[in-house]
Amino acid sequence: MFLHAGITDRTMWQPQVAAFSEPFRCTTPDIRGFGDTPVGSEPFSRRDDLAAVIDAVGATTAAIVGCSVGAGLALDFAIERPERVDKLALIGVTPAGFDGPDDAFLEKTWLDVDAAIERGDYEEAGRLEARAWIDRPRRAEGSAPQWLRDQVIEWSLPINRVDYWGDSQQLDPPAMHRLNEVAAPTVVIVGTEDADVIIAGCRATAAGIAGAELVELTGTAHLPNLEVTDQFNAALDSFLS
C-alpha cells in the first residue's frame, strides 16, 4: 500500500508500482481530499479510510509505504491498528506532536503559498511549493530536475483549490509520544537535501521505534522515490525482501 505526499497524488508511485508489482500486489489510493477522492463534508478518519481500502482489496494486512503526509497517516495507522500492518516504510516523516527545529524558510513559504491561494494564483503557489520541497534552500534553485518541478506544480493545482484536511479525526495522543507502540518492522527514509525539520523528524522517528532502520539518501529532497529512483527502490526492496 503506497500513500502519497501532500504535494502529490497517487500517481507519484508509478515507478514503484512498475518495480514492485512482482512479487507484490500494489495499491495506490488517493488519500481523502487528494486526486480523485473528494474530502466530503462529514467528519471522517483517514485511518478508517485506509482500513476500508485494505478490506476492499480483499486483504487483512499490508506492508505500508508512506511519504510525507502519507507517512504520517501510515505511522498513525500502525499505532492504532498494529494487527493490520506487516511492515512500515516511512519517507520524509514528521510525526504529529514532533517539536522540531524552527525553519524560517518553510514558515515564509507557507505564508506566501497561502497568500497566492487567497488571490487565486494556484500556479505561483505550486512554484513556491516546488521550490520549498524539491530544491530546498541548501541547493541552488533549479537543482532538482525541471520535469519534477513541473510535475509538482501540476499536482498542486487541484490540491490548492480545496481544504484537503477537512473535518478529519486526529490520533490522540499524537504519534510522536507513542512511537514505542509501533510493532511492525520499520524503515525510515529521508533525502539529505530535505528540510532540516524533516530530517530531524525522520531521525527522531527511527530512534523512537524499536529496531527501526534509518536510510539517508543523497542527492534528493522530499520525493526521493522520483528524484533518485534507483537508490530508493534498492533501499525499499532490501527492506521488503
- Asked whether residue 154 falls in the same domain as residue 170, the answer is no
pTM for this prediction: 0.96
Considering the domain architecture, whether residues 182 and 96 belong to the same structural domain is answered as yes
Same domain, 91 and 116: no
CA-only gyration radius of the chain, Å: 17
Interval 216-226 mean pLDDT? 97
CA atoms in the 13 A half-sphere facing the CB of 109: 18
Give the CATH number, domain containing residue 60.
Answer: 3.40.50.1820
Answer yes or no: do 221 and 111 share one domain: no
Q: Give the list of residues 6+ apart from residue 241 with CB closer than 8 angstroms, or none.
A: none
The pLDDT of 161-184, averaged and rounded, is 91
Instruction: Specify the pLDDT at position 59.
Output: 97
Residue 32 has pLDDT above 80, yes or no: yes
User: What's the pLDDT score for residue 165?
Assistant: 75
Q: Check whether 61 has a pLDDT greater than 90.
A: yes
pLDDT average, residue stretch 19-40: 93
Last residue of a domain, one of 159, 178, 199: 159
Query: Residues 6 or more apart from 34 whose CB is under 8 A from it?
Result: 4, 6, 8, 9, 10, 159, 164
* Listed residue (41, 19, 16, 32) closest to 167, CA to CA: 41
> Averaged over 9-27, what is the pLDDT?
96
pLDDT exceeds cutoff 80 at 20: yes
Averaged pLDDT, 49-76: 97
Q: Which domain holds residue 193?
A: 2-100+164-240
Same domain, 7 and 76: yes
**Of 159-168, 197-206, 208-217, which range is least confident?**
159-168
